């Protein structure tokens, strides 16, 4: 059996950050607003027109995005324009990109790279000499 390297498992805290970030982005309306703002600075009336959503709902999501620091606003006369805050966006998405970036996968993660459970290897996974005699937790 080939020697395997130990794999560093991310801390629960890092995983929790990714889960919370994805949960925040999982709202379809919020994600659509971010998609529009990633292309151009927009006012609420433009967002309402593109999304077909009522103004209070668009304003609610913009407020949540501003509170998270992902969106900034600027006033020009009676209009308020919104855009993505690039530094905050990069910092917010960094943990997600670290998990989802397939270009950074090690060779050990490639399809067919593992033989840890080789059916030809008689060594039992759970220890002991006979797999049949090894009790499962539910037994």
For residue 84, count other CB atoms closer than 10 A to its CB.
19
Cα–Cα–Cα angle for 79, 89, 71, rounded to 5 degrees: 15
> Which tokens is 134 given?
């090894």
Question: How confident is the model over 28-86, as pLDDT tens digits?
Answer: 999 999 999 999 999 999 999 999 999 999 999 999 999 999 999 999 999 999 999 99
Domains of the chain: 26-95 (1.10.10.10)
Averaged pLDDT, 100-116: 76
Averaged pLDDT, 81-94: 93
The residue count for the chain = 139
Give the global pTM.
Answer: 0.66
pLDDT at residue number 129: 47
**Kind plus residue range of the DSSP H or E element containing 79:** strand 79-84
Averaged pLDDT, 104-127: 69
């Amino acid at each position: 059996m080939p020697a395997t390297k130990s794999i560093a498992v991310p801390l629960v805290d890092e995983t929790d950050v990714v889960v919370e970030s994805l949960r925040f982005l999982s709202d379809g309306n919020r994600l659509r607003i971010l998609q529009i703002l990633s292309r151009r600075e927009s006012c609420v009336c433009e967002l309402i027109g593109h999304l077909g959503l009522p103004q209070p709902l668009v304003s609610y999501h913009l407020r949540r995005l501003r509170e998270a620091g992902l969106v900034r606003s600027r006033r020009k006369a009676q209009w308020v324009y919104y855009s993505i805050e690039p530094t905050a966006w990069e910092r917010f998405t960094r943990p997600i990109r670290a998990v989802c970036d397939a270009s950074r996968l090690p060779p050990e993660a490639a399809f067919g790279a593992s033989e840890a459970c080789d059916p030809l290897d008689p060594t039992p996974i759970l220890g002991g000499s006979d797999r049949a005699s090894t009790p499962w937790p539910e037994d």
